[in-house]
Structure 1
Amino acid sequence: MKLSIIKFRFISIFLCALFCNSINAQLGFCSGNSGDPIFLETFGSGTTNGPALAAGTTSYNYVNDSPDDGNYTISSSTNWFDWHATQDHTPNDTNGKCFIVNADFTSGEFFRTTISGLCENTTYEFSAWLLNLLPASGCSGNGIPVNVKFQIWDDTDTTVLATGDTGDIQGTTSPRWEQYGLVFSTLPGQTSVVLKMINNGTGGCGNDLAIDDIVFKSCGDYISISNQANEHSASICGNDTPYTTSLTVYPDNSIFSTHFYQWQQSIDGNIWNDIPGANNATYQTPLLTTTTYYRAKVSEDAINLANDLCNVVSDVFSIEITTNPNFPISNGDLVVCEDDLMPLSVTVTNNATVNWYDSPNGGNLLASNTTTYQPENSGVYFAEAVSQNGNCTSVLRTALNYRISNLPVVFDEDLEFCEGDTITLQAGVSNMNYVWSTGETSETIRVSQEGEYTVIVTNTDGCSSVKTLRVTQIDIPVIDTIESVGNTINITMQNTGDFEYSLDGYYYQSSPVFYNVSGNYYNIHVRELNGCGVITKKYLHFVVPSFFTPNNDGINDTFLLIGIETYELSEVSIFDRYGKLLKSAKNESFSWNGTFNNIELPSDDYWYVIKIDNQEFIGHFTLKR
């Protein structure tokens, strides 16, 4: 572990107002600003123990190994007994060492050192970091706690300037360093003090501690710096330089009764240089083009401004000047299809993000902190780079064109065509590229098979829509049978469809059944309503009358079988109810006037047997007089 000067400011735990020749029994830290450390003890670094402290520093015995009660060592290791095994406290060191103490069986002083080169009538802060080495579970949970008294004496070792006790520092589950401090003031003519550490506890199981990073610093008012805008720092973009501002220091008067100033500046925040002649509470910076830091050294006496052991430094006012980022690099203009939108994108350098606008200057903020943007409409959009440090923007915005290509507008169709015919299928939109499910690439195609067809219609931007055409074949009517049932004609089709039926080709009906039709020859017509053909079939409607009235009135006077003579084989026989044959005929026309041997037969039911082309029809009819 190497000695290092690390500037830090502690927030007050207790405000210690110290007066000459008084004893203050409170631990606490400087409530204001501090100077740079004027004394820093880190106990060195390395993998070997030691060296022992200088003679007179401690009454304990130095050992080069594990320290028993009343012994101490200087080591980078605490891995002894059942102690916490941990590193020292000093930040960022390697193999850092600390002061390891195993308390004596009797209480008493175990450490003292003299701090010289102080300023008289000046307030200082002492602090140190302590660690209870014994875990909470050690000594069956009954370990003796660490308890240390800190005292600051004058250099004659006769007057106590400040004193304070840590109180019991109990063991913890995991190692935990704690910081303790005292604030004191030197007496008139006094330039050195003696620090003493006293063990309030006793030895035994516990009361084992490690100490590190003992620091003395001057202590003064809390001193802030702000500019005219009441800001405590400024972040300026490169295009707003050169930049200047007026800075003012504001002490809170908690320690100092008078104030003298020396302004300092730094280009890295670490190395500070006095600004000649800058000794007022307000300082006007020169015109700045690069990052610069400012602070003020403050003391109660003008002579102490030159002695860093006697003054304090204010908060730092940083003026960070950030170079404006380069404008974003476009990843390309976009033409996208409305069903497959993609965002615009740009590339920016490290430590920059992007805001999107609708104008090259000013305009509306569309999106922030993103290198991509998804527009909702076609147009020109503008990307502006923004630095993460300082929020500086690129001098120029990058323009990106975005065009949303509308999909070809198509409509699905349900189409019909007649059997034996073809139909033309149309994509429905011109000047496009086409790919049909048949493999054809023209705007229209002709098909002769029913089914579902699709066409992919693509515009010049490569955006596509799919049109579906469902094609149904309309069958030509095909007659299966025509039957006569009494005076009814019943037409049966081989297929189904939107058909109409007619006995003369002029009057059509939707039903395939015709009632009360006189026997005769008919040209049966069946037509498809969508114009897909008409078929005609000649049919003899053969009717067996159910009665006749032979009264010579000229109406239904004979039992007449119209058309029977057209059949190649026919035979008719008429019987009375007793089975007597009254009239017969074979392969010829047939009619009967109701007589037998020229004698008129009475009203009654009579029977017939009709054979036509190997079919036999048996029934009865009525003779009415």
Structure 2
Amino acid sequence: QSTATFDLTQQNAVITGNVAATSVSYYTSLADAQAMTNAIATPSAFENITNPQVIYARAVNTASSCESSTVVDFEIFVQPLPYTNLTQEGGQICVDEITGEALNPFTIDGTVESPQIGVTYSYVWTRDGALVSLNPEVTIDAAGTYQVMITATYGDGTSCDYVAEAVYSAESAPVFEAVVVESSFNNSGLYTVEVINVTGADVASAYEFAIDDGPFQSSTTFTGVTPGTHTVFGRLASGNCSISEVEIGIIDYPRFFTPNADGFHDTWNIIGLGVAPNLNAKIFIFDRYGKLLKQISPVGAGWDGTFNGQPMPSSDYWFRVEFTEVDELGTQRTVNGHFTLKR
């Protein structure tokens, strides 16, 4: 760029020596200045014609309207701005849903596009107003407004600044909770899991969820979930960024077991109970007459279908479990039920 708008009146004090009741007329040629004709009409907003350009000035006594006989000249010139183009930068970046840090940090380069010989350039990068770099490049490691101020210092000591910016907004996997709708030991043995309290880096994001190896879905409800430990996954519906996960446990019991040493259902225990806060839950097993056959631990192998080392016959057996419900209140519960031993 070789033209610019200058405020020539900034030279008034220098030319008049701060003498009161004195103004200044400016001209584009010495001849006009000597003849006192064709004065620049708007000296506070003068656009240069050549680069550099000599400006001529004469002081004027505002009381008498007389101009001084002395013509003063000075040079104006346009220095190239330290321009850098960041218009292709900015946009959304994937961040960690908890820390807000970029998952894949990268750098952008604000180096002056057309550096001039003999000009010194300095760089100041900020993110949301805080200093992050004094180099031409900056690392994008979080969302925010990244702004670079480039200062060009020319050989005559003058300097010019140019400011460019790139704005990065955050998107992330969701932060969420997963809850089991029904209380433990429901009649069907199947449960409903709901995803609640969904948040993320971008409130406008659309999310989808999956449970275990199932497909992702926009619905936040899963039905027919079996007892045990399950993992609920969440991600952006676009498929961008990472996948977050929440583990849930559903407490229930097997309706039957077959202790025949074939590797399938050989022992019986409460499902999903052997984790905190139920590591010390109490489980009692009785025959149909109420005789205590075994007390087992939720973290043990379970009941193998014997009493005093002798196999018990195929029949229905009863249990009582004293445990803590996995809910917001940590409700203490005692549940009784029965199951079948099959041989």
TM-score scaled by length of structure 2: 0.45
Question: Which structure has the larger Rg over C-alpha atoms?
Answer: 1
Structure with higher RCO (Cα < 8 A, 6+ apart): 2
